[in-house]
Structure 1
């Protein structure tokens, strides 16, 4: 009986040794794969290089994000909202020859250009538009309408 038990123990130990050998070989292959092309560097050196590279890339990402935010602020000062309306300001003149054009930036500052066409001629007006409030010039009904329409444009 003791020989039988010793045989089972021996078979168990051989199985355990085979299992450990399999895991060791797999771990060594994984280690070799990690250190391949590393010019004989240790795993610690490789990991340090990866961490250093990751820190550098994180700084670059932060710089790119800051540049994007700066560009967003610059973009807000570009004209990007427009509205146009043709209308007839005088009942005795036919056709919609007059117009109002609002051109605004991302902060709703800009200009409104209007042209009033009558039998005697055409007059063109340009007025400043500020998001802060009223300017020194009063807007006509049509000018107010195109400014509001342009401000709603996104």
Structure 2
């Protein structure tokens, strides 16, 4: 092989060839990126008539604000409903018993109709051979201004309370 001396023109030509190859590689890479961006733009355009991202962003913000307002309204409604449910009569509790030994079965009963704060009424029906009587005793926070019988106190203790405890107090 023969060693040829490189002159300045040859060096310039070799450098320009390397730069041309480098530019060609850059053009191919940029062309691929441009194609990818074009596909993304077409996808956006199929979602919305325009690819106006600012308008899409504004619509999205308004929808989020509306959703936040709806959530706040629903939360307030839920709290109002929870309060209303706590002050409604819970599942009535009934206790049947034999009030007198001369009657044959458990025909007397007591019913607790109270809310979660143990406020409401206890109804009792006492059945006897000659007559029957029905009584109602108001209850506030598990207490009655009237003396509760053992059966009335028992049925009130079965009724649910907000604290999970079943406060039964007779005055």
TM-score norm. by structure 1 comes to 0.82
Runs of 5+ in structure 1 lacking a partner?
A: none
Which one of the candidate residues 106, 109, 115 is aligned to 1:99? 109
| Cα 1:143/1:25, change in 2 over 3 Å | same
**Residues 1-154 of structure 1 aligned to structure 2 (within 5 Å):** 2=14, 5=18, 8-34=21-47, 36-37=48-49, 40=50, 42-131=52-141, 133-151=142-160
- Aligned counterparts of 2:136 and 2:102: Cα–Cα separation in 1: 25
- Aligned counterparts of 1:67 and 1:144: Cα–Cα separation in 2: 35
Runs of 5+ in structure 2 lacking a partner?
A: 1-12, 165-171
The structure richer in strand per residue is: 1
Tell which has more relative contact order, 1 or 2 (C-alpha 8 A, sep 6+). Answer: 1
- Cα RMSD, aligned residues only: 2.6
Range 45-54 or range 21-30, more displaced:
21-30
- Contact map agreement 1:81 1:106 (CA 8 A) in 2: no
**What is the number of equivalent residue pairs in this alignment?**
150
Q: C-alpha displacement at 1:69, in angstroms?
A: 0.8
Range 22-31 or range 120-129, more displaced:
22-31
User: What do residues 89-143 of structure 1 show as CA deviations (whole Å, max 9, x unaligned)?
Assistant: 2222221111111111122211111111122211111111221x53211111111
Q: C-alpha displacement at 1:41, in angstroms?
A: 7.5
- Aligned counterparts of 1:25 and 1:136: Cα–Cα separation in 2: 82
User: What do residues 15-56 of structure 1 show as CA deviations (whole Å, max 9, x unaligned)?
Assistant: 31332222332332244245x23xx58321221122122212
TM-score norm. by structure 2 comes to 0.74
